[in-house]
Structure 1
Amino acid sequence: MQMEAFHWKKNQALAEDYIQDSGTANHLFHFHYKRTEDWLTRAAWVTEQSSALRADRHQLAAVLTSYNERIGNTQQALQKIQDLSKSESLVVVGGQQAGLFGGPLLVLYKAITIIQLAREWSGKLSRPIVPVFWIAGEDHDFDEVNHIYSLTSAQTVEKIKVEHPTGQRTSISRLPLKEHVWIAALQALEDSLIDTEFKAELLAKLKNAALPSSTLSDAFARWMAWLFGEYGLVLLDADDPPLRGVESAMFEQLIARNEALSDALMQGRKRVRECGYEPQADITENGANLFVFEKGGRLLLQREDGLFTDKKKSVSYSREQLLDISVTHPQRLSNNVMTRPLMQEYLFPVLATVLGPGEIAYWGLTASAFEMFGMKLPIVAPRLEFTLIEGTVHKHMVRYDLSFDDVLNRFEEKKQSWLSKQDTMRLGERFEVVKEEFKASYGPLVDSLAAINAGVKLLGESNLAKILNQIEYLEQKAADGHKAQFESTLRHLDRIQLTIRPLAKPQERVYNGCAYMNRYGNGWLKQLVETPIPVDGQHRIYYL
């Protein structure tokens, strides 16, 4: 396995400073992932802390067992759930929205990071560490998860998507898709994939994941179980109704102490600004930081005149009514981005949470809220990052003297430089000389025509412009003809750019993993899971 590390600076300053252990970002977190002593301290703290604000392990294990059996997860994963019942066990957890056919590559990398860290620290601490993937099924942004992208043989980025089944703004886990929608999406994927020795099995596995599933969340869970279940990855859907029953007591706390929660989050926002960063979440003094499912939708609540209401005031609850819902119908409640970390800490004995750069920025706002509930932020570990580069693409990069950094930061400059070196006829320079010489000899003649009359001079100026236009037209045709000699090279260069920076974004944020599994099977994915890779904040270039 050929791999090299690369520092790809994050656009989010808070995340960049935290990941690199620099600046003032560390003041916003209780521990740091690069310090071994912090891992040991966190493990001891979780073990010794009071269980007053902690879900019952056995009840949680029963719920997770039922869910993982339903989605067809492996015996290895079910055994990990049993480990969760043991008092000495800890958890490494991370999550993502439930994307079509697994979503972008970064989802796979987050799962790999969770598994890697759980395995590493289980050995170092000599205690069970359970890898848990938190499927954000309660999220309602359907347009974010209903599609995948792939690079076609025609050098275009193709989008495959499914349409919203109802138009209602409700959680992904509550939006069933009809069988014909799944079949159409599978057919579109099949049509986009080249024929390989792996294609039939891949499509069969995707079909087995999709067709028994009513929602994107279920299909996603079945697919992730097939990919990672053998490594003991435990899956949960945040909108699973039985899980809501386990969360009931924490919802009670979030409602009963809602003003104090808002104050703590406002304090977190202040701390972020004092450290020199801009908050990445919209925090307001009257925000309840909870959703309620009502009238077919997922509505964000705020406090107003002693009541909990949504922005449009289409629903309204007293605190007592909301507390009653938390006990009798907790499945009607849902966390937002600020309370999800607190709920995760309530549910699990979290050693570490695996986050992307944007999530790290969100979590930097929550330390005061954790402290308010007698909790501490867990170890925040950045997920592993990769760019997959196929052999032919790598060969082209070597041939045209393009480094990874070149493609990211100076691709057009390098491309034009290469083309210029091929211009042995010096077309641009020679045409420029001709145009200047023509203007120098013809211009004075045109100017002299004013002695005849103004109309003749205007005609001469028009004639001069037309001749120059014709020269430029010939120059462009000559340039096009010259470039046509290098069409193959230009295709190679475009393929390099589309591989590494599709849609001007990192590859892992755009392309789906199925195209790579179709070309190369699952061997590359297994290597990434099974080969120890340090979680050090570096981006890795993986040559397939």
Structure 2
Amino acid sequence: MNIVQEPLPAGQPLADALIQDYTRVSSFYEYDPKEERSWKERLDWLDQNEGARVGREALVSRLREYNRLHNPEDAVAANLELLAQPGTAVIVGGQQSGLFTGPLLVIYKAVTIIKAAREASRKLGRPVVPVFWIAGEDHDWDEVNHTYVLSASLEVSRVRIADGHEQGKPVSWTELSPEVWEQAAGELERLLPETEFRPGLMELFRTCAASSATLSECFAKLMGHWFGKHGLVLLDSADPALRRLEAPVFEAMIARNDELEVAYLENSRMIKEIGYTLQADVREGGANLFYIHEGERLLLYKLEGKFGDRKGKVAFSQEELIGELRAHPERFSNNVLTRPLMQDSLLPVLGAVLGPGEIAYWALTRLAFRKFDLQMPILLPRESFTVMEGTLQKHMEKYGLQWKDVADRDALRHKREAWLAGQDSLNVGDRFEEIKAAFTAMYDPLIEQLGTIQAGLVKLGGANRDKIVDQIEYLRGKAKDALEKSNEAGLRHFDRIELSLFPLGKPQERVYNIFYYLNRYGADWIDGLTGIPYDVTGSHRIIYL
């Protein structure tokens, strides 16, 4: 495994600035992650504010129960013992519970959390525990019910579980039948090439699915299988027992909701003022909390003195909403702007591992942290990778392609066309252009002369000329098709390069699933990721296999 750093723009100016130009965005973030002193300063703040969070004993007790069910590894139990001790900090990051764990970036986020915790512990001489926050309270089913693999026939193939989800219902509340699990397993198995690893890989999934009622539970079991031995602690944000611990924080969010709204609006104004685009929706009157009504997760607004949803299904006074919270804490959940506050009210967060989009919308929360007497943690970019298989390396060498050629779709298309043109020994394209030019040069003067006989012949002659030119173009198209067919093997190489590295026009890590690579390289491959040196900047790297 050879690792090479290559540029891959994040496409999020705020995220880029956090690493490249911190002084420009220091009004929105608390710490520069590249500065050594940031780590010590944050740890000191956590030590001084131990009492500002949910009690460790109650938190760890619940995490033990959850991880015993889904992630029963000795290293996890040991880390939870450490977390129970004052002074232990965490590196945390999270993601929705996708089918087969979703795209590769989920795996890379878990790897980054583990490595960042290891590095922080080394630097600070203090236990730092890696924690993965499963966003099971999210309700966007269409975002998590599928994943993609590259089929043997060079198709970006989607594996999707059958419908059956109720609109707006949290993912962790959606139960799946054995038939649904088997349908997904069978579809993936058909798409994966037959290798020595496929039987064991599919047995792993089927075993996890058989003991899982929901997508979140299966996700947790898979992540535990791969990362539990590295001590990665898991929690589900939709866990009712955890929600009861969070109830006092929700109550403060309701009681001080106007203050939070002002903070979010002020941060959004400041961001727009220096020319950045907002990455999360900040609206006047937004409560930034969800209420689950009859299984549907409803976003709350402050409407006519009450907390209610835009559909008119619920309406509570502040006192009524707090009463509902005390009676049914499981019915409440955060949105993207209040989740960071909840995370820091629950865990001693030294650093939060985030993707580029998350870093951008966290910029909206700094003043809200302060309103809550909290402090934004160090934001750590998720590490970014592209897997370059040996076959792709050979193809790129054969056609003289470099990373910059494949990272730009237009550049790759031009390279492809130039290569194909180079296979045209007859120079067909130029010869057809010469023939068209010669034909029109002879035919146009004739059409003009025919106009002296009868004016209507000019129009008729023009139409006749265009038909002949169309026929020439038709033949040129057929010649091009024949040329492509005779060079089909080479063109498939270009297709494989593009589909492997930038499927659907997106970076590989945002599309393909880990099962595709485990099927080719085995379970040791995923352990190899944790051995790649940690890069606090999260810069994109290519893994040459």
TM range (shorter): over 0.9
Q: Secondary structure at the match of 1:195?
A: coil
Superposed CA offset, 1:481-532 (max 9, x none): 2222211110000110111111111110111110110011122211111232
Deviates more, 1:16-25 or 1:120-129: 16-25
- How far apart, in 2, do the equivalents of 1:239 and 1:226 lie? 21
Superposed CA offset, 1:130-188 (max 9, x none): 10000000000000000001111211111111133243311000010111000101000
Shift, 1:246, TM fit: 1.0
Q: State the one-letter code of the partner of 1:120.
A: E
Aligned to 2:351: 352
Q: Contact conserved, 2:71 with 2:228, CA < 8 A, in 1? A: no
Q: Contact conserved, 2:436 with 2:469, CA < 8 A, in 1? A: yes
Q: Secondary structure at the match of 1:299?
A: strand
Q: Contact conserved, 2:448 with 2:458, CA < 8 A, in 1? A: yes
Find runs of 4+ consecutive structure 1 residues off by over 6 angstroms: none
Q: Contact conserved, 2:8 with 2:407, CA < 8 A, in 1? A: no
Shift, 1:75, TM fit: 1.6
- How far apart, in 2, do the equivalents of 1:278 and 1:531 lie? 34
- How far apart, in 2, do the equivalents of 1:386 and 1:43 lie? 29
Shift, 1:411, TM fit: 1.1
Deviates more, 1:185-194 or 1:301-310: 301-310
Deviates more, 1:417-426 or 1:132-141: 417-426
Q: Contact conserved, 1:249 with 1:326, CA < 8 A, in 2? A: no
Aligned to 1:440: 441
Matches within 5 A, 1:43-54: 43-49=43-49, 51=51, 53-54=52-53
Shift, 1:463, TM fit: 4.1
- How far apart, in 2, do the equivalents of 1:263 and 1:460 lie? 72
Shift, 1:408, TM fit: 1.6
- How far apart, in 2, do the equivalents of 1:306 and 1:61 lie? 38
Q: Contact conserved, 1:178 with 1:214, CA < 8 A, in 2? A: yes
2:329 matches 1:299? no
Aligned to 2:16: 16
Q: State the one-letter code of the partner of 1:527.
A: G
Q: Contact conserved, 2:14 with 2:276, CA < 8 A, in 1? A: yes
Deviates more, 1:74-83 or 1:421-430: 421-430
CA RMSD of aligned residues (A): 1.6
Deviates more, 1:407-416 or 1:348-357: 407-416
Aligned to 1:261: 260
Distance 1:531 1:472, change over 3 A: closer
Distance 1:468 1:287, change over 3 A: closer
Q: Secondary structure at the match of 1:132?
A: strand
Shift, 1:23, TM fit: 6.0
Deviates more, 1:314-323 or 1:462-471: 462-471
Distance 1:481 1:329, change over 3 A: same
Shift, 1:3, TM fit: 1.0
- How far apart, in 1, do the equivalents of 2:138 and 2:425 lie? 58
Matches within 5 A, 1:100-111: 100-111=99-110
Q: Contact conserved, 1:32 with 1:379, CA < 8 A, in 2? A: yes
Deviates more, 1:357-366 or 1:403-412: 403-412
Superposed CA offset, 1:326-347 (max 9, x none): 3232111111111100000011
- How far apart, in 2, do the equivalents of 1:420 and 1:435 lie? 19
Q: State the one-letter code of the partner of 1:229.
A: G
Q: Contact conserved, 2:152 with 2:191, CA < 8 A, in 1? A: no
Deviates more, 1:437-446 or 1:484-493: 437-446
Shift, 1:128, TM fit: 1.0
Q: State the one-letter code of the partner of 2:43.
A: A
2:466 matches 1:465? yes
Distance 1:294 1:100, change over 3 A: same
Aligned to 2:25: 25
Aligned to 1:336: 335
Shift, 1:444, TM fit: 2.9
Q: State the one-letter code of the partner of 2:306.
A: L
TM-score under structure 2 normalisation? 0.96
Aligned to 1:370: 369
Q: Contact conserved, 1:76 with 1:232, CA < 8 A, in 2? A: yes
Matches within 5 A, 1:131-142: 131-142=130-141
Q: Contact conserved, 1:142 with 1:164, CA < 8 A, in 2? A: no
- How far apart, in 2, do the equivalents of 1:123 and 1:442 lie? 82
TM-score under structure 1 normalisation? 0.97
Aligned to 1:88: 87
- How far apart, in 1, do the equivalents of 2:442 and 2:278 lie? 64
- How far apart, in 2, do the equivalents of 1:344 and 1:448 lie? 83
Q: Secondary structure at the match of 1:10?
A: coil
Q: Contact conserved, 2:22 with 2:32, CA < 8 A, in 1? A: no
Distance 1:284 1:441, change over 3 A: closer
Shift, 1:459, TM fit: 5.4
Superposed CA offset, 1:91-144 (max 9, x none): 000000000001000000000000001111111211111100000000000000
Shift, 1:465, TM fit: 3.4
Aligned to 1:196: 195
Distance 1:444 1:304, change over 3 A: closer
2:493 matches 1:492? yes
Identity %: 45
- How far apart, in 2, do the equivalents of 1:370 and 1:378 lie? 10
Distance 1:272 1:468, change over 3 A: closer
Deviates more, 1:316-325 or 1:499-508: 316-325
Q: Secondary structure at the match of 2:26?
A: helix
Number of residue pairs matched by the alignment? 543
Aligned to 1:237: 236
Shift, 1:445, TM fit: 3.3
- How far apart, in 2, do the equivalents of 1:430 and 1:505 lie? 38
Superposed CA offset, 1:268-310 (max 9, x none): 2122223331221111231111111112211111112322111
Aligned to 2:222: 223
Q: Contact conserved, 2:71 with 2:234, CA < 8 A, in 1? A: no
Q: Secondary structure at the match of 1:24?
A: helix
Aligned to 1:515: 516
Q: State the one-letter code of the partner of 1:66.
A: E
Shift, 1:224, TM fit: 0.4
Shift, 1:417, TM fit: 1.9
Q: Secondary structure at the match of 1:144?
A: helix
Q: State the one-letter code of the partner of 1:406.
A: D
Aligned to 1:481: 482
Shift, 1:369, TM fit: 0.6
Q: State the one-letter code of the partner of 2:279.
A: Q
Q: Contact conserved, 1:165 with 1:176, CA < 8 A, in 2? A: no
Aligned to 1:176: 175
Q: Contact conserved, 1:272 with 1:279, CA < 8 A, in 2? A: yes
